[in-house]
Amino acid sequence: MLPTCPDPQTGSAPAPRVAERPESLRLSLRVFLLVCGLSALPFTLITWQVVTDGPLLGVDERISHALIHPNRVSELLSDLGNGQVAVPSLALVAVYVAWRGRATGTGRWWLPPLVAAVLMALVPAIIMPLKEWTGRHGTPVVPPGGDYYPSGHTATAAVAYGSAALLLLPWLRSARTRLTLLAACAALVLGVSFGLVRQGYHWPLDVVASWFLCGLLLLPLGLSCRSRRRSSSKAPRC
């Protein structure tokens, strides 16, 4: 139920208005199903190809051989996916958002930062078993082993920088600023991905699979932040 303001003539509050929850829930459900479909299906297809050594891996390896060219710039880009860089960045944003939410009296100010922290903790808990199960070998320029799929550095970057952007979105007033933030987040993740492939640390499909996996992981936080932004924009002003 939405809060109401007193009538300026009578001084009494009008009858409370009921929020249009069914419509918003239907929209959230459509968004949820769309993101799940666009993320889960490609990730499942790529994983199936990796496990069965499918023909897509041949294309993947040829693309990798054409792209590998280690250099200092690509190494620096790949380092942005290190936990020592990405996780503290998310922590700083989470602390700022929690502080600002509490200072402004936002309801459940602690929830989005908590969700972001849980998502970040889930990355190794999900990636490591997948690496052991798929057992995909690395490119010729990395040490032999079977723990390269999916890319943990890409997942760390996508969840850390993606969560940071989603946490900040409700606090940005203009659509242009929000688009700039999302573009910067995408550029960071793409930069890390390019650096990993360019250095030969991962096959391209290792990186792409992590994109789709992280799309699923970020979905709860994205829906939460979207609902918070919609609620704040509809709040009446006395």
Task: Report the C-alpha gap between 82 and 124 in whole angstroms.
Answer: 12
pTM, entire model: 0.83
Per-residue pLDDT of the chain (238 residues; tens, 9 = 90+): 444 455 445 555 554 444 445 665 665 666 667 777 788 999 999 999 999 999 999 999 999 999 999 999 999 999 999 999 999 999 999 999 999 999 988 888 899 999 999 999 999 999 999 999 999 999 999 888 878 999 999 999 999 999 999 999 999 989 999 999 999 999 999 999 999 999 999 999 999 999 999 999 998 887 777 655 554 544 443 3
Contact, 144 vs 137, CB < 8 A? yes
Listed residue (191, 173, 236) closest to 85, CA to CA: 191
Nearest 5 degrees, angle CA 57-CA 61-CA 62? 120
Task: Report the C-alpha gap between 31 and 37 in whole angstroms.
Answer: 10
- Chain-centroid distance, C-alpha 80: 15
Torsions phi, psi of 15, nearest 5?
Answer: -60, 135
